Structure 1
Amino acid sequence: MDADFVTERAVSPVTGLVRWVVVDADSFDLQPEAVAFLASLRARGCSPNTERAYAGRVALYLSYCRMRRLDWRTPGFLDLAGLQRWLVETPVPPGAGRVRPSPVRYRSRGTANAVMTVVGEFLRFGAAHGWVPASTTALLSQPKLLRFTPPGFDSEESGQQHQV
């Protein structure tokens, strides 16, 4: 898969600060929602390495959506399940400047889960800003009922509040 979106290191000409951004690979236009998400990571005090890793995972998600002709704002449950399967089954492209004689590498399930975690955070961030419908973020989690509550947990009247 040729990447439709890529991460780039942006250096401020004024301050010299390094920021990571997601850009369209053809036009080098910034992907505004992804850039806002990455800026929110900086505002929360996340490390530059977290920002770099998240930028790559968001770019991978946006590229997958464009490749499959999906609207990144409204993926269905099967679309997200397909992304996770694709992450594990598709070979990782060789790094820049490398040729393919080395053995083909695949992502582990753990790596696919890490990508899916970032996708979930990105979609939740988009929902908080009105870019993603609430129905999309509802796909990302479901209520769970506690069978046993931790000490000090207030389960309200007759134990009605065992949902987390």
Structure 2
Amino acid sequence: MATVEVHGLDLVMRHLDAVPRKLQRKILRRGLRKGAALVRDEARRRVRRRSGVLAKSITVASSRGSGQRGAVAYKVGLRSRAWYGRYLEYGHIKRGRGQKIAGGERRRAATREILKGAGQFVPPYPFMRPAADKLPRALDAVADEVRGALISGELSS
């Protein structure tokens, strides 16, 4: 989990607190979506491209149930079509196909083989973590969006 400290948003948040809650959520959603889109675009730029499926499956989605009632959150993640993205991000162990063994024996045999150190470790090729390093820039985009709404009078009662 990435932790980012933001300074200088106190004044913006105080002005935002004076606005009705429904309008707050509207403008925060728009700002957070823009910030998450920056992280998504950076991840798409960094990912390896063969067919382009992995890059296309990096998406922004609203995150419901973040623990606080009325909270607004967005997450950048992978669609299930690109299930192999996590193997690229964190690395994995590549092993041969092995012999076909009846039932669940094959899986247990493969697990034993991996635990013995057999197989070849494929190093990670991170693309989401470096994209998450752009969070300060994304938070600046959120702050700019909120400031712009306050200045233009969009959020006034």
Band of TM-score, shorter chain: under 0.3
TM-score of the superposed pair, with normalisation by structure 2: 0.25
TM-score of the superposed pair, with normalisation by structure 1: 0.25
Larger Rg computed on CA atoms: 2
**Highest RCO, 1 vs 2 (Cα 8 Å, sep ≥ 6):** 2
